[in-house]
Amino acid sequence: MPQASVLEAPPPRFSADEVAAMAAELFGVAGGATDLGSERDQTFLVADGTGGAIVKIANLAEDPAVLELEAAAIEHALRVDPELPVARQLARASFDTPEGTHAVRLFERRSGRTSTGAELTDGAVRELAATHARLNLALRGFLHPAAGRELLWNLAHAPKLRPLLAAIGDSKRRAMVEAVLDRFDTRVGPRWLELRGQVVHGDLTADNVLFDDRQHVTGIVDFGDIGHSAQIADFAIGLTSVLRGRTGEDVYRAARLAIDGYSMRIPLEDLELALLGDLVAARLATLVTISSWRMTRYPENAEYIQAWDEDSWALLDQFAQEGADSVCRKLGAPRAPEPTPELARRRRLVLGPALTDLTYREPVHVVSADDVWLVDAQGRRLLDAYNNVPVVGHCHPRVTEAVVRQTRAVNTHTRYLYEPLVDLAERLVASMPPGSGLDTVMLVNSGSEANDLAWRIAGASTGRTGGIVTAHAYHGVSAAIADFSPEEWAADFHPPNVRTIDPHRPAREEMSRALDGFDLAATFLDAGFTSDGIFTPPADELRQIVSATHAAGGVFVADEVQVGHGRSGRHLWSFVHYGLQPDIVTLGKPMGNGYPVAAVIARRELVDEFAATTDFFSTFGGNPVAAAAALAVLEVIEDERLIDRAGRVGAYLADELRRLEHPAIQAIRGFGLLAGVGLPDAQLAGRVMDRLRDRGVLVGRTGPGENVLKIRPPLVFGDEHVDLLVGELDAALAAEG
């Protein structure tokens, strides 16, 4: 008999006395029988006051294969997760009546009682959802031929409710259900096959779960609605039972707690969250529609059939008044992007005037990213030739997964012992040149913090307070390091303990001038001169800066925050490219591919001198998640051979830029995947940058005159991206005449 008919066939009608006699005859279980209620079967507790068991008498229309499916699923789940509180099937028998032969099953009795969702405490809501996820995990690998049964309770079949809507007498209520089904057809149905599917319980609701007096889960019962469905649809069924009886914002508060509980075991995918609100509404529509339809057939079972009707209608009414989109957002669906001008207005209002303004005339309103692409609020893909932070590409799967996995495991501070921090420190030390003495690592959160710490170490080592930087350098935002960032200085500002050198002039002369009468503690150098306008001077020029620093008793700090992690196309670190010998190396920006993490790598004797005068601790510096992200970045750079790629693609980029025949181009500079295109003035550079943005390519500006286009893409940039970039730059320059 088709499975759809199980809801149409009349349920068994045995009396309590008949069931007690049946239990004694078939299973040897003695005691009185208490009806527990059921939709299409009969379920009784048979007990004599000491223990007892559950007797379930199947509907005559039930397919025997489905009963085998239930038993097999229970045994499979308990084999996978023996601690799951699932009520076992103990025995099965048959009982003949004039109408036919009923399948009778004996189940283990679990302690506890059922509850309504509104009665559950916050802790119980989370535990119920986590238990639901555990059961789904336990059934994930389970297969059975009967799992494809067609049952209207399965949300996969929600569209098949339409022929039953006539049973809903109230036209307003019927229209609410029709609206839910219409939305299901347009939003859920077309994407159903994209959802994770498996065999699921199908009815893991608060009234099919037992709780003890403290509302801990003690039992999972009634696998009668088992079948193959979308995992998120199964969760929606359980979630709906938690929400019924609640009102207002408490509905969504409880829903978020349940989502948290489920996600502890099975994190939800974006599509699942996007459709969860529609699936909850579909479950409510299923409840009231089947209830109305069955009431016309079995009015004698009205108390059981209509038990949840009013709560379901009340929730459907609340959803209808709030609007389906709002409900979905409150249940986790991503919100639609706000209009860009309004978002920019809010940004200015709440973040204030001190924050650097947005980069382009038309702001880039980003909603997602992938590899070398950013996607804006209008769905347009923009080629990212500017950001060095996502060094291995936006949202690289290995880095994002490393972050997520470690976040799920543990994230804490460095006063505890854990592997990622030590692994990262060892990996960084191993990346330093042999014999460099750079053997001690200190982890912080940003390049600014790294340079600030390097400055403190230099001061402790030398006992001095003077620093040298290049004329338009940028090394960070802390109070001390802002003084080492001339790019950010006001016109009339020059800290007395900082002297600058001009990277365009001979290094020997510049260092001699800067050191005259100056007690030097440290020289900071970004070997890509990223903020000075991007230069590649002869290596000997930079070595003279290092030699002069050491001769003056100072500490040389190689700032790799902007130009490290393989950007040179020859080595992991740019100071190696020039053959420099730093005392301290600082890392930041790209180190975590977007996750905040930075490092100081120094000679041990310098750190020892620093430690003799102070203790140092950073709560989040080198936390397990940050360390996992940084390790993943180093692995990807190595596995994908991104340094070689940066060298090859960078050379192609330089060649193609030099082919551009436009009188405004004054210079092409850089190395690897760091390039500067010098233009006559800041106004032209700004217009070209904005034209490129309009054409779907993002670059920046740099240099004292803001007249150098800064090209600094992720290292996964390819030849095809170079072709696009250079072609659009050519067009943008041509538009200037």
DSSP state at residue 268:
P
What domains are there in the chain, each with its CATH number?
A: 3-108 (3.30.200.20), 131-330 (3.90.1200.10), 340-391+640-737 (3.90.1150.10), 397-639 (3.40.640.10)
pLDDT of residue 720: 98
Instruction: State whether the Cα torsion 146-151-153-159 is positive or negative.
Output: positive
pLDDT of residue 3: 38
pLDDT of residue 1: 30
pLDDT of residue 40: 80
Residues 494 and 481: their CA atoms lie apart, in Å, by: 13
- 3-class DSSP state of 727: helix
Please enumerate in sequence order all residues whose Cβ is within 8 A of that of 683, keeping only pairs 6 or more positions apart, or say none: none
Q: State phi, psi for 498 to the nearest 5 degrees.
A: -125, 135
Ranges of residues in the chain whose predicted pLDDT is under 70: 1-5, 298-308
According to DSSP, the residues that pair with 56 across neighbouring strands are 43, 105
Q: How far is CA 302 from the centre of its chain?
A: 46
Q: Which of 499, 567, 483 lies closest to 529 in space, CA to CA? A: 567
Residues 706 and 482: their CA atoms lie apart, in Å, by: 19
pLDDT of residue 204: 97
Q: How many C-beta atoms lie closer than 10 Å to residue 198's C-beta?
A: 17
Residues 286 and 180: their CA atoms lie apart, in Å, by: 10
Q: Which of 4, 17, 120 lies closest to 62 in space, CA to CA? A: 4
Residues 498 and 291: their CA atoms lie apart, in Å, by: 80
Tokens 């190395």 belong to which residue? 671
Residues 587 and 590: their CA atoms lie apart, in Å, by: 8
pLDDT of residue 4: 41
Cβ-count burial of 477 within 10 angstroms (0-12 exposed, 13-18 middle, 19+ buried)?
middle
Q: Which of 241, 255, 176, 166 lies closest to 208 in space, CA to CA? A: 241
Helix (H) or strand (E) holding 667: strand 667-671
pLDDT of residue 216: 96
Whether 227 contacts 202, CB under 8 Å = yes
